Amino acid sequence: MKKRLTPVARKLRRNRTDAEALLWSRLRNRQLENTKFRFQAPFDDYIADFLCHSASLIIELDGGQHVDSPEDKNRDAVMEIAGYRVIRFWNSEVFENLEGVLEEIRLAILEGKEDQPLTERD
């Protein structure tokens, strides 16, 4: 983790969007598949919205500013090269279909944990 991003991550945690707050309320404290997520976690030169080490999973929530963003594509590539699966949801999906979003995340967790050695699992 690069220390220079820690203050930025703290600020993002304090100024979370409504969609981030809603999803975080359902991911925190191992509520989904007893899996630990970190919120606004520094990762390489980026900050991941939601990061799960044990399932090698990163979840990003996007608003309209992210449509076809080349920066997002570069960021996803860096994370995928490091062995993480990146899944993205629109903020509107979180509000309109939270249970569907959680189910997709749950399936990604299970898939990610299957790929991990037993010693790295939660």
Nearest to 95 by CA among 18, 15, 29, 3: 18
At 121 the pLDDT is: 45
Structural domains of the chain, with CATH: 3-120 (3.40.960.10)
Query: What's the chain's average pLDDT?
Result: 87
31-58 pLDDT tens trace: 999 999 999 999 988 999 999 999 999 9
At what angle are helices 98-114 and 18-27 packed, to 10 degrees? 50
- Per-residue confidence (pLDDT) for residue 34, from 0 to 100: 96
Angle CA 122–46–61, to nearest 5? 70
Q: Using an 8 Å Cβ cutoff, are 113 and 121 in contact?
A: yes
Mean pLDDT in residue range 62-67: 66
Confidence (pTM): 0.83
Structure confidence at residue 64 as a pLDDT band (50, 70, 90): low
Residue 11 has pLDDT above 90, yes or no: no
